[in-house]
A and B are shown apart, each in its own frame.
Chain A
Amino acid sequence: MKVALFVPCYVDQFYPQVAIATLEVLEKQGVTVVYPTRQTCCGQPMANSGFEHLATGCNENFVESFADCDYIVSPSGSCVLHIKDHLHVDGAEEKTASIRQRTYELVEFLTDVLQVKTLTSRFPHRVGLHQSCHGQRGLKLSQMSELVAPPFSKTGQLLGLVEGLELVQLNRADECCGFGGTFCVAEEAVSVKMGKDRVADHQAHGAAFITGNDMSCLMHLDGILRRQNSPTKIVHVAEILNAW
């Protein structure tokens, strides 16, 4: 099985440790991982701002980078959802359809494809799980509170396998953190207020760490936590799964 690692641009630039953890978690599962070095970005920043048509170059580059592998795995629900919903290159419909189908967020790849039942990881802390919206409602990584349907959580399932980890309950299990791509600067006031409220929910329940499947949400929450000089830290779920 050949897995290509898709590292979101801002993770590449600001959170290399998250990409390294993703790579190592996959390798620990016996998977051969390659990292196509010409990759840049999924094109979501342009598309979510209304400029899907400016993302053509990005999309072409993505297709060239990832055409040749069994699976494409990424530590980001949001970027994966964007690829799955919107990757398009004129004249390469078959290729893009195949890529869209083969692209997985890290957690769902571990639970659904590799069907991981045990982990050798240890993280003896109280942890709050931030359910990023695109992963949750888009990729269905966990059940959403809006629906009358049985609960499940793929991320929760994996975190349950981590030694010493104590998952805290939140008042609002799946409220958006307010990052929202360019929303975080275009609607700065509301974005920050949403982030502050999310952080407060985790703090009120004694979380030492806030984790999640998307570094973008966590970057936003981290910016707020550090401005508050809060002892609460953020950590990507890949880092927890890779911790010992």
Chain B
Amino acid sequence: MVSPSHPRQDHATLAEKFNRDEARVDWHDKTLWFIREKRDRAARTLPEWEDLREAASQIKNRVLDNLRDYLLQFEAQAQRNGVTVHWAANAEEHNQIVHRIIQQAGVTNIVKSKSMLTEECHLNDYLQEKGITVVDTDLGERIVQLAGESPSHIVLPCIHWKKEEIGELFHKHLGTPAGNADPKFLTGAAREHLRQRFMTSRVAITGVNFAVAETGEVVVCTNEGNADLGVQLADVHIACMGIEKIIPERKDLGIFLRLLARSATGQPVTTYSSHFRRPRVGQTMHIVLVDNGRSARLQEESFRNALKCIRCGACMNTCPVYRRSGGHSYHYAIAGPIGAILAPALDMKQHADLPFASTLCGSCTHVCPVKINIHEQLYDWRQVLARQGYVGGVKKLGLMGMAAVLARPRIYRWSGALGRWFMKHMPALVNNRLNPWYKQREMPAVPRQSFQEWYRQNRQQHGQQR
């Protein structure tokens, strides 16, 4: 696991390491771009796509505006359905609640389907320390878990692994024959391996994609049916969710389920959209509602609508920086553009580099199925981080100097001419390895005169001397 506690390298450094193997970067980029194109084709099958996005955005805005009321309605409905509802103010409380439920069940082995919230709370590490073994049952998550890594993508946790490498990993951990990298075979082997865990686990944790206030049910979307299998075989079901996962009514799913699968993988709908409303006879069901900074963010006008996120991962697949730097370069449970606006809200100091891991191209904002203005928030985060002193001293000094010059037309003209003179006559001053531009790019050729000089010479009738 990537531990958040000790000093770690920033995005630029980790991305530079990722880029040392260019063929791998090309492969990673193409794999994700393939999914982006699949999403485009799927979206284009619905002429009403942009209307769906707008509708989803408005529903989520309504939820955020009335979150307290919807949460209370959801809690009351869930309780009526025989579900125990827990409230956790932060990650620590969430982990404690989950641990207590597992302790009460008296087990030490549990299964868990995909949940980005439990990644955010580092639940696996917490439970491990308490002597509880968690098996992630999503195939991709199981792969990264066996490898001792965290997911590099919220929908495709092992997208950075090639099938040959997975073959090797399975050979080592599951005893599959060496050199067998056939995806069908490996999936079968994983299924056999997971089946034993499913059969013996009496507690199952799931995430939540949507929590319906009207009915008190939670909806979990998977392609492998692993959430269902875990829950149906267990005596205890624990569903963990961030408080922003609420939608008002069941009918809203007609909008969100269509948007989610198409945005995430280009499928018309996920293979399983499982509704968990009440425990079956003899089973207990718990829902843990987690705040962990969300209600604080709700009060920040610039950043609140990041809470609309439905975790589809479309912004990652489209992001030209994510595709070429890999999910782990973001050193947070949620990578990519959305991670870069969520992470600093939790810990500015740890994640001050992430809003700068973007060219502000804006592609994320426009693939987002709930219309989060991601690139504008990246810009706004930069302002906040700089004002709070989280942007490096050298960069700040450089920009202060630049600002001073650019505010004074005469000094600007003079320094421009001086700079160009040096570039022309002493090119080694800029064409050296201390200049990151020059490492893999030529500097622009220096013209004889600036436009302003040309203009004064050729066009300005009443200007200064030639």
Contact = CB atoms under 8 A, between A and B. Distances in A.
Interface in B425-456: 436-437, 439-447, 449-456
Interface string A168-190: 00001011101111111111111
A195 B442 CA distance: 13
B314 to A, nearest CB: 9
B395 A180 contact: no
Interface in B354-396: 356-363, 365-367, 379, 382-387, 391, 395-396
A194 B320 contact: yes
Contact of A219 (B358, B395, B444, B452): B444
A81 to B, nearest CB: 10
B357 A188 contact: no
Contacts of A149: 50
A55 interface: yes
Nearest to A61: B407
B451 A41 contact: no
Given A40-B409, A61-B407, A133 B360 contact: yes
Contact of A12 (B18, B22, B416): B416
A51 B367 CA distance: 28
Contacts, number: 222
Contacts of A47: 379, 383
Contacts of A45: 399, 402
B19 A15 contact: no
B96 interface: no
Interface stretch (A31-39, A90-98, A118-126, A156-164): A31-39
B409 A38 contact: yes
Interface stretch (A66-74, A109-117, A203-211, A222-230): A222-230
Interface residues of B, number: 79
Contact of A148 (B29, B44, B356, B387): B44
Interface stretch (B9-17, B198-206, B236-244): B9-17
A55 B382 CA distance: 14
B361 A13 contact: no
B391 A39 contact: no
Contacts of A128: none
Contacts of B12: 186-190
A9 B412 CA distance: 9
B444 A54 contact: no
Contacts of A219: 444
A137 B363 contact: yes
Contacts of B463: 37
Contacts of B146: none
B400 interface: yes
Given A193-B19, A223-B442, A146 B318 contact: yes
Nearest to B464: A37
B441 A148 contact: no
Contacts of B363: 133, 137, 144, 146, 174, 176
A90 to B, nearest CB: 15
A178 B359 contact: yes
Interface residues of A, number: 75
B46 interface: yes
B406 A40 contact: yes
A186 to B, nearest CB: 6
Nearest to A33: B459
A187 B385 CA distance: 18
B308 interface: no
A58 interface: yes
A59 B455 CA distance: 23
A62 to B, nearest CB: 10
A56 B15 CA distance: 33
A65 B244 CA distance: 47
B386 A137 contact: no
A12 B447 CA distance: 10
B359 A58 contact: no
Given A61-B409, A180-B360, 17 more contacts: A14-B420, A16-B453, A35-B452, A43-B406, A48-B382, A61-B408, A133-B361, A134-B360, A181-B360, A182-B395, A186-B356, A187-B15, A187-B357, A188-B436, A192-B440, A220-B441, A227-B440
Interface of B: 11-12, 15-16, 18-19, 22, 25, 29, 33, 40, 43-44, 46-47, 49-50, 318, 320-321, 324-325, 356-363, 365-367, 379, 382-387, 391, 395-396, 399-400, 402-409, 412, 416, 419-420, 436-437, 439-447, 449-456, 459-460, 463
9 contacts: A35-B459, A46-B399, A51-B391, A51-B403, A134-B362, A189-B12, A194-B320, A194-B324, A222-B442
Interface of A: 7, 9, 11-17, 19-20, 23, 35, 37-41, 43, 45-58, 60-61, 133-134, 137-138, 144-149, 172, 174-176, 178-195, 197, 219-220, 222-224, 226-227
Closest 10 CB pairs of A and B: A57-B407, A180-B359, A223-B441, A50-B386, A50-B382, A146-B366, A176-B361, A133-B361, A16-B451, A19-B451
